[in-house]
């Protein structure tokens, strides 16, 4: 889960302090400190990666007798108590970055493993052909993940879904951050340019998603939260934002911002409709284009709320990952199927096995 941006409540943020609190509260499974895993399914999440980073993960799992499972297996465990077995894990790749195609799938095939990918259909580009992977020679996956179009293409996503190695599920339609306050908390500048791409908020009023770019120096920034949160969206007045940009341009980057900007708020009905649209449109398009069932979702930044939960139930989803307060960072029988939790992929090496590195052994 990536850190949420300025303005999100503490329970919607990541960061070191949150990690310390979670550890002190006993939310991390015992295998991280050298204990046996017990009857749980550890789920590990990844984002961008490289062959040098991911191949040791595959090798560790295979050499220590672990098997990988997918979304339906996790859901059956939660809902029906069907345990996938000792030494079972789930590998989850958020966002479907280009490296998922270039690096991950070839390594999954090489080591006879599988994974789940959470794709964002509203951000995918078309392509006539797939790109060469590490099977054909060296590739710069890190550079591809930083490109103007950093995600897999539709052609590549179809090939991933057809491979039998990658279970493609939903990461919502647009993976959007939205403004949820009218108080100005900053302006686009160097700090904003350094933020993760997916933290850039939506600024379109209606129509295709448009995200605030780092080139819009001086554009005022407001508190931001995930579209799937309980926060109602604020639409700042476009003319006021344009004046702030012009002022910044004329003063060499000093925006001289006011405390607040006029604008309008979405209604509660519109908020409910947008949350449902994010879930339904992503599911429907993925199912149509990939011809595979989409019944599971990973909610961006692990953020959910009552509105999102009701939409999940209405739409017939089976499970959702949402790392909010409460619960352990692993999947177990009887867990809330719409608030499942995961661990960062770096913790794979704490699993029992030869070459194990627990938090204790790492100091």
The pTM for the full model equals 0.94
Residues 257 and 147: beta-carbon distance below 8 Å: no
What is the per-residue pLDDT across 214-257, written as a single tens digit (0 to 9) for each? 999 999 999 999 999 999 999 999 999 999 888 887 665 444 56
Helix intervals (H) in 69-220 = 71-80, 98-99, 105-111, 141-145, 154-162, 190-193
Place of tokens 């790492």: 362
What pLDDT is attached to residue 333?
98
The pLDDT score that the predictor gives to residue 1 is 42
pLDDT at site 250: 67
The helix (H) or strand (E) run that includes residue 116 is: strand 115-119
CATH architecture of 10-174+279-350: Alpha-Beta Barrel (3.20)
Distant-in-sequence, close-in-space partners of 354: CB < 8 Å, separation ≥ 6: 63, 64
At 6 the pLDDT is 66
pLDDT at residue 5, as a whole number: 52
**Cβ neighbours for 116, distance < 8 A, ≥ 6 positions apart:** 70, 71, 90, 91, 92, 93, 166, 167, 168, 169, 296
The full set of domain ranges for the chain reads 10-174+279-350, 177-271
Task: Return the pLDDT at 345.
Answer: 97
State the sign of the Cα–Cα–Cα–Cα dihedral 266, 267, 273, 278. Answer: positive
Q: Which residues of the chain have pLDDT under 70?
A: 1-6, 250-258, 324-325, 362-363
pLDDT number for residue 13: 75
**pLDDT for res 249:** 76
């Amino acid at each position: 889960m990536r850190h949420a941006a300025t303005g999100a409540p503490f329970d919607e943020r990541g960061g070191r302090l949150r990690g310390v609190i979670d550890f002190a509260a006993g939310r991390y499974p015992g295998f991280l400190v050298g204990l046996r895993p017990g009857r749980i399914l550890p789920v590990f999440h990844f984002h961008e990666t490289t062959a040098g980073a991911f191949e040791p993960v595959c090798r560790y799992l295979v050499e220590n007798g672990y098997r990988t499972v997918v979304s339906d297996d996790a859901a059956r465990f939660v809902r029906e108590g069907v345990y996938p077995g000792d030494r079972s894990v789930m590998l989850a790749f958020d966002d479907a970055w280009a490296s998922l195609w270039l690096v991950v799938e070839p390594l999954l095939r090489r080591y006879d493993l599988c994974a789940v990918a959470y794709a964002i259909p509203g951000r995918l580009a078309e392509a006539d052909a797939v790109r060469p992977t590490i099977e054909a020679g060296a590739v710069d996956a890190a550079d591809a993940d930083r490109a103007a179009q950093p995600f897999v293409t539709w052609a590549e996503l179809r090939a991933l879904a057809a491979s039998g190695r990658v279970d493609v599920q939903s990461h919502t339609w647009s993976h959007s951050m939205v403004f949820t306050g009218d108080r100005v908390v900053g302006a686009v500048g160097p700090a904003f340019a350094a933020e993760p791409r997916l933290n850039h908020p939506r600024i379109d009023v209606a129509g295709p998603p448009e995200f605030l770019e780092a080139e819009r120096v001086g554009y005022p920034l407001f508190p931001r939260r995930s579209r799937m949160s309980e926060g109602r969206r604020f639409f700042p007045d476009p003319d006021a934002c344009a004046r702030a940009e012009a002022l910044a341009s004329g003063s060499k980057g000093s925006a001289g911002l006011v405390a607040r900007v006029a604008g309008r708020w979405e209604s509660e009905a519109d908020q409910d409709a947008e949350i449902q649209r994010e879930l339904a449109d992503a599911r429907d398009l993925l199912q149509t284009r990939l011809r595979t069932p989409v019944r599971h979702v990973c909610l961006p930044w692990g953020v959910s709320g009552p509105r999102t939960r009701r939409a999940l139930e209405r739409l017939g989803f089976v499970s959702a990952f949402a790392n909010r307060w409460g619960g352990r960072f692993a999947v177990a029988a009887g867990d809330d199927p719409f608030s499942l939790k995961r661990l960062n992929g770096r913790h794979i090496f704490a699993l029992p096995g030869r070459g194990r590195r627990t938090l204790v052994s790492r100091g």
